Amino acid sequence: MQPKERILEKTFSLFHKQGYNSTGINQIIEESKVAKASFYQHFKSKEDLCVAFLNQRHDFWFSELLKFTSKTESSNSKVLASFDFLIYMNQKENFRGCSFLNILSEIPSDNIKILNVIQSHKNDLRNYFKEILKDELLSDHLYLLFESCIVESQMFKSNELIEQSKKIIQTLILK
């Protein structure tokens, strides 16, 4: 693996496990086994590394979501499968939650560079539901439910409210 790929791979696991503020550049350099000069050749700052991490996480997360939901055909079953995807990711990643929201809570409010990437990810998720349902009000409702499921399941380390949300969705979309 090339140095940039090793740095991003290590950042992926460290930011996800430890968080943005608790992960230092020196730890990333040491654990990815690259020279400091090599690190700075690829990333001018921790902020630039975070943007690259979030872009990589976005691609990974949406790829997994689309793979997971591609087995279903109807819009209703695709929406429900999206919530099943949350359960799958919670089990896979030990209820670590959303990397984007986790980092949002750690950055200063004036960090527009990282904020823009986070907002873009959330806009893509919102549009994902709009494309499936073709109903803006309903899709926004489901998007907000989806987001709250992410936070609640992380906080309580439980998929219970995701399962409850699926029942709510069935009453909303089967009207």
Give residue 173's pLDDT.
Answer: 84
For 100, phi then psi, to 5°, come to -70, -45
* Residues 6+ away with beta carbon under 8 Å from 50: 15, 20, 103, 114
Per-residue pLDDT reduced to its tens digit, 75-103: 999 999 999 999 999 999 999 999 999 99
pTM of the model: 0.94
Of the candidate ranges 39-53, 119-133, 160-174, the one whose mean pLDDT is the lowest: 160-174
- Please give the full DSSP string across 74-124, using - where no structure is assigned: SHHHHHHHHHHHHHHHHHHTTT---HHHHHHTTS-TT-HHHHHHHHHHHHH
pLDDT above 90: residue 113 = yes
pLDDT above 80: residue 28 = yes
Per-residue pLDDT reduced to its tens digit, 66-79: 999 999 989 999 99
Give residue 175's pLDDT.
Answer: 59
For 15, phi then psi, to 5°, come to -65, -40
pLDDT above 90: residue 63 = yes
Mean pLDDT of the chain: 96
Tell me if 116 sits within 8 A of 103, measured CB to CB: no
pLDDT band at residue 17 under the 50/70/90 scheme: confident
Question: Can you tell me whether residue 44 is helix, strand or coil?
Answer: coil
Using the structure block, give the residue that is written with the tokens 């921790």.
Answer: 46
Give residue 154's pLDDT.
Answer: 97
pLDDT above 80: residue 64 = yes
Domains of the chain as residue ranges with CATH: 1-43 (1.10.10.60), 45-173 (1.10.357.10)
- What tokens were used for 131? 């494309």
